[in-house]
Amino acid sequence: MATVTQVAETSPAARGISYKWIALSNTTLGILMVTINQSILLISLPDIFRGIKLNPLTPSNTSYFLWVFMGFLLVTAVLVVSLGRVGDIYGRVRMYNLGFAIFTLFSMLLSVTWLVGAAGALWIIIMRVFQGVGGAFLFANSSAILTDAFPENERGKAMGINGVAAVSGSFMGLILGGVLAPIEWRLVFLVSVPFGLFGTVWAYLKLEDNGIRIKAKIDWLGNAAFAIGLIAVLTGMVYSLLPYGGHPTGWTNPWVLGAIFGGLAVLGLFVFIENRVAEPMFRMGLFKIRAFTYGNVAALLAALGRGGLQFMLIIWLQGIWLPQHGYSFARTPLWAGIYMIPLTVGFLIVGPISGILSDRYGARPFATGGLAISGVSFLLLELLPMNFQFVWFALLVFLFAVGMGLFFSPNQAAVMNSLPPDQRGVGAGMLNTFQNSATVLSMGLFFTIVTLGLASDLPSHLFHGLVAAGVPSGAARQVANEPPIGSLFSAFLGYNPVKELLAPTGALSHLSAHQAAYITGRSFFPKLIEQPFANGLHLAFDFAALATLVAVVASALRGGHYLHSKHSIVEELAEGAAGAASAAPFGGGSPVEIGADAMLSSPVDS
């Protein structure tokens, strides 16, 4: 049976003013380090694959590219709930410190990669997976540590500052990758090591476990079902990006469909288990809290709408806009990061302010309004021509960032404020799982939508354009029949798509120097792909706007300013222990449940 090890948390005021800033600065460093590492590979992949002497665009190597690219995010999505629950049981700070150490260790191992070819790619994938485990420890426990450290009326501000670090890290990674990778690709991993060593020691010396904790058994059955189900679904989404059987995507691949639908079935079994196990990993009872439920739904749908946006905008810049404005394909990854700076600036300005205001007025007006602004920005982006004037692109991307800045910190703080003190780790893990899983799903959906849009028009555009430029019809037809995802990956990685497509045919060697220079120049491919890419991109924007609209509704339904009442936590725990008379079907014993009064207690209306 679960037992209470600490029945009352030390109040933030009792710990002194300085502790909350120590907690904020350390968790901000941790989140910044993780998000930099998530995005730094977007720009560094060409140099990394050149360094290990492996061409990621060769069909047999595409899976290596996908796993180097997506493995880290997939692992963090799967593990954050489990590790949040472990933090509730064994101590959030202890688990957070362990995460810092794990992340730093595997950053070191990545920076000393000596293998080449497929072996080098496998080494990087495995080390990135374990680095993702460290990142999951940090993600799962940082929000709970902040919630323990800050009083209720300052948590929005804390989440806002922490959220700024997360968004800033994603764009700092783009710049750092563009600067460091051409010098030495191993530096993109080594750059985290000094910060990781410092953060690990600092966290160990300064952070304190002051939250309520309950001794409980690990829900091994639930953990296994959740991990198997979510890994299967997300892996299926990753492999759906690869063409199969003459189709431009993998949605006709029985293994992809089996993984996705089989994973969903296992997740259904997971829900069944969690409703019956004595000490569940996934606290279904938390969904009785209105603010928690609708905050999570809004976060999931918002991530589903925005998760793939960054990659589509980067491909738009790298594959079409930047080459037509004088940048070689090799330089486009760095400059795409630079031209995306308005996205960072918008969040930097609005994120902390919205958090501070939500502490006073509640999350609903800011989170709901922010989502509405972001949804409108998706629709306005459709009005831009493919070869736009940058000022309009910058303004719309900035507007999107303002909307997300208004949403993120108030929503994060509102979800954390709604949780009982002993459930903050698992609650934060659940929120992060919804967001991270939706991000992976969003990438798969965005790439699928855009690829299908390209598949309908790109082959004829490519064929006629290449023949008109002097390429023999046989070679032109071979190139036109290649899956369009290859062109997207080429542009994304900073390769010249036409050169990559024509190389296997040998057609370039039979053209005059003038013809070859024209076909592989900066304007030929971008102009060919403009209209087909626009068709797919507009469909993706429509999907994102629809997902965001539903998120607006969910956010509006969250209720007023809700703070979980702490005064009765001892009584609730005692009632839960006394009332659990019957043994659960899985694992025996009795859970300590959170009292129903806490779940359904009235919100504090602003």
- Per residue in 462-476, pLDDT (tens digit) is 888 888 888 888 888
Does an H or E element contain 4, and which?
A: strand 3-6
What is the spatial distance between Cα 97 and Cα 282, in angstroms, rounded to a whole number? 23
Domain ranges of the chain: 12-218, 219-280, 456-530, 569-600
Instruction: Give the N- to C-terminal CA distance of the chain in Å, as an integer.
Output: 40
Q: Indicate whether 597 pLDDT > 70.
A: no
Query: pLDDT of 538-581, one tens digit each?
Result: 888 999 999 999 999 999 988 776 666 543 343 344 444 444 33
pLDDT at 518: 85
* Model confidence at 7: pLDDT above 90: no
Closest CA to 283 of 77, 116, 88, 443: 88
According to the model, what pLDDT value does residue 54 have?
87
Q: What pLDDT does residue 546 have?
A: 93
pLDDT digit string, tens, across residues 518-532: 888 888 888 888 888
Question: Pick from 384, 383, 386: which is nearest to 324 by CA?
Answer: 386
Q: What local confidence, expressed as pLDDT, does residue 197 receive?
A: 92
Quote the tokens at residue 14. Answer: 């009792």
**Average pLDDT rounded to a whole number, residues 138-151:** 83
Compute CA distances 531 → 231, 330, 458, 534, 540, whole Å. 36, 23, 8, 5, 14
Residue 185 has pLDDT above 50, yes or no: yes
pLDDT at 565: 55
Which residues contact residue 486 at a Cβ distance below 8 angstroms, ignoring those fewer than 6 apart? Answer: 57, 497, 500, 501
- Among 295-309, 347-361, 582-596, whose mean pLDDT is lowest? 582-596
Asked whether the beta carbons of 361 and 606 are under 8 A apart, the reply is yes
Structure confidence at residue 15 (pLDDT): 53
- Going from the C-alpha of 182 to that of each of 50, 125, 161, the distances in angstroms are 10, 21, 32
pLDDT in tens, 117-128: 899 999 999 999
Letter for the amino acid at 83? L
Q: Which own/partner pairs from 353-357 qualify as long-range (CB within 8 Å, at least 24 positions apart)? A: 353/160, 354/156, 354/160, 354/405, 354/406, 354/407, 354/408, 354/409, 354/410, 355/156, 355/157, 355/158, 355/159, 355/160, 355/161, 355/163, 355/409, 355/410, 355/413, 356/156, 356/157, 356/160, 357/156, 357/410
In this model, does residue 514 exceed pLDDT 80?
Answer: yes
| Interacting residues of 592 by C-beta distance below 8 A, sequence separation 6+ | 1, 2, 3, 4, 214, 216, 573, 576, 577, 580
Q: Residue 330: what pLDDT?
A: 78
In this model, does residue 40 exceed pLDDT 70? yes
Condensed to tens digits (0 to 9), the pLDDT of residues 161-176 reads 777 777 777 777 877 8
Predicted local distance difference test score (pLDDT) of residue 133: 92
Most confident range (mean pLDDT) of 317-321, 378-382, 486-490, 578-582 is: 378-382
Mean pLDDT is lowest, of 198-202, 563-567, 592-596, for 592-596
Q: Which of 96-105, 134-143, 470-479, 487-496 has the highest mean pLDDT?
A: 96-105
CA dihedral 167, 169, 384, 44 (to 10 degrees): -150
Looking at domain 12-218, what is its CATH homologous superfamily?
MFS general substrate transporter like domains (1.20.1250.20)
> What tens digit of pLDDT does each residue of 372-431 get?
999 999 999 999 999 999 999 999 999 998 998 899 888 888 888 888 877 777 777 788
pLDDT at residue 214 in the model: 65
- In which band, very low, low, confident or very high, does the pLDDT at 305 lie, cut at 50, 70 and 90? confident
Burial (Cβ within 10 Å: 0-12, 13-18, ≥19) of residue 193: middle
Summarised one tens digit per residue, pLDDT across range 71-116 is 888 888 888 878 887 887 888 888 899 999 999 999 999 999 889 9
Provide DSSP, 83-127.
HHHHHHHH-HHHHHHHHHHHHHHHHHHHHT----HHHHHHHHHHH
405 residue type, one letter: G
pTM: predicted TM-score of the whole model, two decimal places: 0.79
Provide the mean pLDDT of the chain: 81
| pLDDT at residue number 383 | 93
Query: How confident is the model at residue 2, as a pLDDT?
Result: 47
pLDDT in tens, 228-286: 888 898 888 888 888 887 788 888 899 999 999 999 999 899 888 888 887 777 777 78
* 8 A C-beta contact, residue 323 and residue 143: no
Q: Which is it for the CA torsion 566, 217, 268, 75, positive or negative?
A: positive
Identify the pLDDT of residue 440: 81
Higher pLDDT pick, 311 / 184 = 184
